[in-house]
């Protein structure tokens, strides 16, 4: 068995749990380990109960583990809430001056030590130092991270942090810990990134030049990450006066010629519905990231869900073509963003990229290099491409349904666009021939769009039972399949990224090879399961559903599938 | 030389005969010709309503979008390509009702577009409901007891929010209106022209005769547009008279000039350096 250890850090919001987590994550990353850090926090700035779960391994990990080997409790509540999760041989490091450590709970006066090192604020560093020492990390692992993080701060900050780290290390000197491991001394594996950051990087690689947004968890971080590049690239990120403004600004910018996107969550996506339809009827390419969280209405603002699939499929009135893509890993999210912009331009349609809180807020390692495409094809025409620019018609009927797209004020061709039904030149029209003609033209795009769709990724596709899911749960589903196989169940996984237009033939082929399939989704009704039923006629045997706002653990999925298998 | 006739468009007009919008569209053509701007060099953005159909009735590039949202579309287009002169046509319901928040935001951003509000004080396209600028007591089929809310004052609102170019025009004063539109287009920053517009079909109170007795030009009568106090006074019509003309103008920094990157030229035309992006991603 290789290394597979989970550290959980819990406390109140505002205590800097994320900072401890990040220090630990960076220290692991720099030593060449793999990791995944999942954030669990309440919708409040101070108080309450938050935690971060850090899974450390010598192999790539893309799911949280249900077992906790080392719990860092910055308050009593963490101790009480999570004590039961401690794995055999696991320990708790509890911030307490009381002393009296027992077998599992180790009292370490973290806050006191921090004060001695120069201030309460350094409690994070003390905790990180103690935690890493228990895990058997060399002192330099944290030192290096602290130097990077505080090296350019004013004098004293770095020194105090080094002192704090040291006192943390010393506080646990001689403590034995069953889950300590031999730390590698390797170069970092890939890149340490959050889902939100990788989505922003993907947009950059796709030559996105304009983004408008209205703050909403868990989508805001995508925009925060994007705006970090504003001063270095031809890029403008604008905080709009609301989501309706955001999507309409994006449409305006795209109409004028730049690639543009927005990111939001369910409530904001609801407000964007009319704009989505406007992009549909005006055939304006746009990209919308919908970072899902549980609903309806405000729901659980800082938690995770995959419950907007039906909504994304049907948002806005009447029919028009759209893409829905749901990446399942960091690398896939980067590539999906690049593809989203390319597909939007090529087919002149809106593209929705579905992610969620779990994906956006988690940190993990992207193994492959994130490659910027050599060419960006804008599919835009100018006067030179036209026989007679004065006769240009934006919505001319074509076999593919895609009409040559010119830009306004970019030559002699006049670009006339209306969200009302229109004739070929863009002027409003209620003539039956125009209505039918334009509607059919737009619907014809589906054929070309369908050809772009990729089959879901499969693992052990020839298994007796298949576990089927979409988007961010890919990592958990894959791991649960390994658990099932270890337990003697012949199981495989089917993970969707391309959802709409639905890849019917490919999916039917995959599903027809198994005896039965189970849906694994973070919603209450198996939304993808019923979509599969609708598009292929194939019906899932059972569904493993979770809609409490917390991400799946692989064991949870495996246990449920196993239980179903035992009765069937 | 561009002439108003160059903006002639043979698409069938859909307004009622006698509608005040005809005066507005003609004034727009005059203004664009006066600036020597050919149709292919101008972008019109509109919302939804009778007013918002305007771009269909003159030759130009246009984006006819959603009810209330034209300013957001125009903002996006302007950020993408700030070399394009942008005119926005909206109705009073469109701009001040459904799109009220975008109106406030456009003033704060000082986005360099010229907003023409065809203020007929009624919802024309939906057949005559009270609008945000209808008088209290304005009777309609659905407001049979008269409108219950007080009218908003868009000119005073814009002034109070720091707008740099605020004008009130009248659809029946074509020359003055054309001149205001020209000045609005020339103004670097957000310009509002609230246009008193007659709706012959659904507003039988604010008619041509009603306006003719009340409107008067302030600029010919010595008003200095830099005088905010006087502007505030003219924003509030009193004594049964309605001041029209350029009410207020001050120097401001337009939105796209507040973004340092855009000094190098329009976003659309700037070079996107693949290797640089790859480097940034590598280092991220
Ligand atoms: C979201 C939405 N709500 C309502 C409407 C219906 N609608 C169309 S035009 C209009 C109001 C028109 O009044 P105004 O903006 O003053 O323009 P006018 O027709 O008077 O020029 C309304 C409510 C719509 N098209 N879209
Ligand atoms: S309803 Fe009123 S505003 Fe609309 S076209 Fe007729 S007169 Fe003009
Ligand atoms: Mg009106």
The predicted complex's ipTM stands at 0.98
In a domain, B146, yes or no: yes
Mean pLDDT, residues A292-313: 97
Residues with CB under 5 A from ligand 3 (ion): B 91-92, 120, 124
CB of B15 shorter than 6 A to ligand 2: yes
- The residue whose CA is least distant from atom 3 of ligand 1 is B67
- What topology does CATH give the domain A4-189? Pyruvate-ferredoxin Oxidoreductase; domain 3 (3.40.920)
Q: Do residues B129 and B156 lie in contact, with contact meaning Cβ atoms separated by under 8 Å?
A: no
Number of domains into which chain B is organized? 1
Average pLDDT, chain A: 96
Quick one: which ligand is closest to B49's CA?
Answer: 1
Going B36 to B39 to B42 to B47, the CA torsion angle's sign is positive
Provide the residue ranges of all domains of chain A, joining segments of one domain with +: 4-189, 194-366, 380-452, 457-567
Q: Do residues A194 and B284 lie in contact, with contact meaning Cβ atoms separated by under 8 Å?
A: no
Which tokens in the block code for residue A541? 């045997």
Q: pLDDT (tens digit, 9 = 90+) per residue, A530-557?
A: 999 999 999 999 999 999 999 999 999 9
Mean pLDDT, residues A69-78: 94
pLDDT at A26: 95
Q: Is the pLDDT of residue A101 over 80?
A: no
Mean pLDDT, residues A231-250: 98
Q: Is the pLDDT of residue A103 over 80?
A: no
Q: pLDDT (tens digit, 9 = 90+) per residue, B127-186?
A: 999 999 999 999 999 999 999 999 999 999 999 999 999 999 999 999 999 999 999 999
**Could you tell me what percent of chain A has a pLDDT over 70?**
100
Please give the CATH architecture assigned to the domain spanning A194-366: 3-Layer(aba) Sandwich (3.40)
Instruction: pLDDT band for A153, please (50, 70, 90 cuts).
Output: confident
Q: pLDDT (tens digit, 9 = 90+) per residue, A185-199?
A: 999 989 999 999 999
- Which letter, b or e, does each residue of A265-300 get, where b requires 16 or more Cβ atoms within 10 Å of its Cβ? bbbbbbbbbbbbbbbbbbbbbbbbbbbbbbbeeebb
pLDDT at A1: 58
In a domain, B269, yes or no: no
Mean pLDDT, residues A168-186: 95
Low-confidence ranges of chain B (pLDDT < 50): none
Helices (H), A401-553: 432-452, 474-486, 504-511, 527-536
Q: Which domain holds residue B205?
A: 4-255
In a domain, B104, yes or no: yes
Q: Do residues A290 and A312 lie in contact, with contact meaning Cβ atoms separated by under 8 Å?
A: yes
Please choose from B22, B23, B98 the residue to mutate so as to test ligand 1's pocket, defined by most ligand atoms within 8 A of CB. B98
CB of B91 shorter than 6 A to ligand 1: yes
Q: Do residues A252 and B80 lie in contact, with contact meaning Cβ atoms separated by under 8 Å?
A: yes
Question: Which of B281, B282, B283 should be substituted to probe chain A, the one whose Cβ sees the most A Cβ atoms within 10 Å?
Answer: B281
What is the distance, to the nearest Å, from the Cα of residue A428 to the centroid of all Cα atoms in its chain? 40
pLDDT at A17: 82
Smallest CA-to-CA distance from A135 within A176, A196, A94 is with A176
Number of neighbours of residue B53 by Cβ within 10 angstroms: 24
pLDDT at A44: 80
CATH number of the domain where residue B219 is located: 3.40.50.970
Q: pLDDT (tens digit, 9 = 90+) per residue, A365-402?
A: 998 899 999 999 999 999 999 999 999 999 999 999 99
Q: Is the pLDDT of residue A3 over 90?
A: yes
Span from the CA of B131 to the centroid of ligand 1 (angstroms): 10
Cα separation, B54 vs B42, in Å, equals 14
Identical fold for domains A194-366 and A457-567, yes or no, is: yes
Span from the CA of B19 to the centroid of ligand 1 (angstroms): 17
What is the distance, to the nearest Å, from the Cα of residue B10 to the centroid of all Cα atoms in its chain? 24
In a domain, B265, yes or no: no
Side-chain-facing half-sphere of A98: CA atoms under 13 Å = 12
Whether residues A252 and B73 touch (CB distance < 8 A) is answered with yes
Write out the CATH class of domain A457-567. Answer: alpha beta
In a domain, B263, yes or no: no
In a domain, B222, yes or no: yes
DSSP state of A129: H
């Amino acid at each position: 068995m290789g290394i597979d250890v989970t550290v959980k850090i819990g406390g109140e919001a505002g205590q800097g749990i994320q900072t401890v987590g990040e220090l630990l994550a960076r220290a692991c990353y720099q030593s060449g380990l793999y990791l995944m850090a999942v954030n669990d926090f309440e919708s409040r700035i101070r108080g309450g109960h938050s935690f971060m779960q850090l899974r450390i391994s010598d192999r790539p990990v893309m799911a949280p583990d249900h077992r906790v080997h080392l719990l860092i409790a910055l308050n009593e509540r963490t101790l009480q809430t999570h004590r039961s999760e401690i794995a055999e041989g696991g320990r708790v490091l509890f911030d307490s001056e009381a002393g009296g450590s027992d077998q599992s709970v180790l009292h370490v006066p973290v806050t006191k030590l921090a004060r001695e090192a120069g201030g309460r604020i350094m409690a994070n560093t003390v905790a990180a130092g103690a935690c890493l020492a228990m895990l058997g990390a060399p002192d330099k692992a944290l030192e290096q991270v602290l130097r990077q993080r505080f090296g350019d701060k004013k004098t004293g900050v770095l020194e105090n942090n080094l002192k704090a780290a040291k006192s943390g290390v010393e506080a646990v000197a001689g403590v034995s810990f069953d889950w300590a491991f031999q730390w590698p001394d390797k170069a970092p594996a890939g890149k340490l990134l959050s889902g939100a950051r990788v989505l922003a990087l993907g947009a950059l690689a796709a030559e996105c030049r304009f983004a408008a947004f209205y703050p909403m968890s868990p989508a805001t971080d995508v925009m925060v990450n994007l705006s970090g590049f504003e001063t270095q690239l031809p890029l403008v990120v604008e905080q709009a006066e609301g989501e309706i403004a955001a999507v309409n600004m994006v449409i305006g910018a795209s109409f004028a010629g730049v690639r543009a996107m927005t990111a939001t969550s369910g409530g904001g996506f609801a407000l964007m519905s009319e704009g989505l339809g406007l992009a549909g009827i005006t055939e304006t390419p746009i990209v919308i990231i919908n970072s899902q969280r549980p609903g309806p209405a405000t729901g659980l603002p800082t938690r995770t869900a995959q419950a907007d699939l039906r909504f994304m499929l049907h948002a806005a009135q009447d029919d028009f073509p759209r893409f829905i893509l749901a990446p399942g890993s960091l690398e896939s999210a980067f590539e999906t963003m690049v593809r989203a912009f390319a597909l939007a331009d090529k087919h002149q349609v809106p593209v929705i990229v579905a992610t969620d809180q779990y994906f956006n807020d988690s940190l993990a390692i992207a193994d492959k290099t994130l490659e910027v495409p050599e060419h960006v094809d804008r599919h835009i025409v100018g006067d030179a491409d036209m026989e007679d620019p004065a006769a240009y018609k934006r919505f001319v009927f074509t076999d593919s349904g895609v009409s040559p797209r010119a830009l306004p004020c970019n030559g002699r061709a006049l670009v006339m666009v209306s969200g009302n039904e229109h004739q070929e030149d863009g002027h409003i029209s209620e003539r039956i021939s125009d209505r039918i003609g334009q509607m059919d033209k737009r619907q014809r795009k589906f054929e070309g769009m369908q050809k772009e769709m990729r089959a879901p990724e499969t693992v052990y596709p020839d298994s007796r039972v298949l576990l089927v899911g979409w988007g961010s749960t890919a990592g958990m589903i894959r791991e649960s399949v390994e658990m099932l196989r270890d337990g003697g169940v012949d199981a495989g996984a089917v993970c969707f990224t391309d959802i709409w237009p639905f890849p019917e033939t490919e999916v039917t082929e995959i599903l027809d090879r198994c005896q039965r399939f189970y849906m694994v989704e973070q919603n209450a009704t198996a939304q993808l399961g019923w979509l599969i039923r609708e598009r292929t006629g194939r019906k899932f045997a059972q569904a493993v559903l979770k809609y409490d706002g917390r991400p799946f653990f692989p064991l949870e999925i495996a246990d449920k599938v196993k239980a179903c298998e035992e009765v069937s | 030389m561009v002439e108003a006739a160059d903006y002639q468009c043979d698409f069938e007009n859909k307004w009622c005969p006698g509608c005040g919008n005809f005066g507005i569209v003609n004034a727009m053509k005059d203004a664009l010709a006066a600036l020597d701007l050919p149709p292919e060099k101008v972008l019109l953005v509109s919302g939804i309503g009778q007013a918002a159909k305007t771009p269909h009735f003159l030759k130009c590039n246009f984006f006819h979008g959603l009810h209330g949202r034209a300013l957001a579309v125009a903002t996006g287009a302007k950020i993408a390509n700030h070399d394009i002169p942008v005119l926005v046509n909206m109705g009073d319901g469109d701009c001040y009702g459904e799109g009220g928040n975008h109106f406030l935001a456009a003033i704060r951003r000082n986005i360099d577009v010229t907003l023409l509000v065809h203020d007929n004080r009624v919802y024309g396209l939906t057949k005559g409901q009270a609008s945000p600028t209808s008088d209290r007591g304005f009777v309609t089929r659905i407001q049979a007891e008269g409108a219950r809310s007080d009218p908003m004052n868009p000119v005073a609102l814009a002034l109070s929010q720091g707008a740099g170019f605020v004008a009130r025009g009248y659809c029946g004063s074509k020359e003055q209106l054309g001149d205001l539109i020209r000045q609005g287009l020339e103004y670097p920053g957000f310009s509002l022209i609230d246009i008193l517009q007659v709706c012959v079909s659904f507003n039988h109170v604010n008619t041509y005769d009603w306006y003719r007795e009340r409107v008067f030009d302030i600029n010919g009568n010595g008003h200095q547009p830099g005088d905010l106090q006087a502007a505030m006074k003219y924003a509030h019509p009193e004594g049964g008279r309605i001041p029209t003309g350029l009410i207020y103008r001050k120097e401001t920094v337009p939105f796209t000039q507040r973004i340092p990157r855009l000094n190098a030229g329009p976003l659309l035309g700037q070079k996107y350096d693949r290797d640089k992006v790859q480097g940034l991603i590598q280092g991220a």
